[in-house]
Amino acid sequence: MSDLYRSALSARIAKLPSLPPGMNGDEDEDESNEAADSVGSLPGSGMGPPAIPTRHPRAQARAPNPDFAPISAASFFAEAVQVSVPSRGLDCRVYYTPPASPDGTVMVCHHGAGYSGLTFACFAKEVTEMTKCECGVLALDARRHGKTTSTTEKADEDLSIEVLVADFAEVIQTVFADPAAAPTLLLIGHSMGGSVVVRACPILLERKYRITGVAVLDVVEGSAIEALPHMHNLLNARPDGFNNLEDAIEWHVSTKTIRNARSARISIPSIMVHDPDAPQPYRWRTPLRSTAPYWLSWFKGLSSTFLKARTARILVLAGTDRLDNELMIGQMQGKFQMVVIPGVGHMLQEDDPTRLAEIMVEFWRRNERVVVGVKKVGDA
């Protein structure tokens, strides 16, 4: 959130094991289309500071740069499936690598606004390799994002926090239908997604799921809300579209919205949609201006909800972002762990997936295997 705040102020895959009814694999889908899911976001979804803080003029068509060609995500998750969630009117895209043991742990990841589950692709591979698949990773595409689609005629425009939290909880309940047989869950949310997972935590606990911890990535309520009035000016620096996917990926890398070109080549393509009749045929899947009515709902009350979560808590930041009063007091009281990753931007899970994986695996090991009588990190 620090990069976003400063810039605002200055301006096949196989099938899931024992798939519940309504979940179908995508065997026929072109793997090249799995190359990504990411778009610049708003407060807490990472647009990063644009390289040139002016509206980009329409660029003349040029040959695609092969250095920024999309990379298939097929080797980063074990499976990609569409999960039918009738109660929410959604056909939800889920990327999943299960743990080796049925009683293992799964890190469940929710992206920020404008992005998709594939923003966690490189991170997921790092986690499974570091833990030798002892810990699995599940990442999903939220409503109006990535490859999640509506299954009803009713518009799915509503991205208020209540809707997103209900969606998330129902997807988890669909994938892991029996809480008693479900793996232990570690909830991870980037920016807007951080707000979703901390609010979903008590719902899932009430439904008897085992939650070993909750992680919020690069968003602080105070600075996020302060940045909101500046967001439209920041969005003015974003192009309306691109001539090809390579241009879209290159823009994200050249503006340092995403500082890891390999990750951008995986995560960007599916946040774009192809409109051959448009002057620039590759356009944003989730135009961020359309999400403006929901920005305040995402972040208001985030700090208190995070501190009240009845599980271990960790806040991972991209810089020495100032904490708001609630978090500052909570940190002094030892209510959560805080880690700052140097040399990254708002999209820290893409910029340095190895370091984030190290942090989260250490957090998981400390709290999942805690010695009897010793409090977990974040326990009051």
Relative to beta strand 184-190, strand 105-110 is: parallel
Choose, from 110, 145, 252, 346, the residue flagged as catalytic.
Answer: 346
| Residues 40, 211: Cα–Cα separation, whole Å | 30
Helix axes 192-206, 161-175, angle to 10 degrees: 50
Phi, psi of 229 (to 5 degrees): -65, -20
Choose, from 41, 191, 195, 263, the residue flagged as catalytic.
Answer: 191
> For this structure, is 218 an active site residue?
yes
> For this structure, is 346 an active site residue?
yes
Cβ burial of 56 (10 Å; 0-12, 13-18, 19+) is middle
Cβ burial of 66 (10 Å; 0-12, 13-18, 19+) is exposed
Query: Could you give the count of Cα atoms lying within 13 Å of 369 in the half-sphere of its Cβ?
Result: 10
* CA dihedral sign, ordered 265, 133, 317, 292: positive
The answer to whether 380 and 80 have CB atoms below 8 angstroms apart is no
The answer to whether 72 and 35 have CB atoms below 8 angstroms apart is yes
Query: Could you give the count of Cα atoms lying within 13 Å of 201 in the half-sphere of its Cβ?
Result: 27
Report the run of H or E that residue 217 belongs to, with start and end. Answer: strand 211-217
Name the CA dihedral angle for 68, 69, 75, 78, rounded to a multiple of 10 degrees.
100
Beta strands in 98-193 (DSSP E): 105-110, 135-140, 149-150, 184-190
Cβ burial of 342 (10 Å; 0-12, 13-18, 19+) is exposed
Choose, from 218, 247, 324, 351, the residue flagged as catalytic.
Answer: 218
Letter string b/e over residues 343-368, b meaning 16 or more CB atoms within 10 A of that residue's CB: ebbbbbbbbbbebbbbbbbebbebbb
For residue 51, the 8-state DSSP code is: S
Catalytic residue annotation: 191, 218, 346
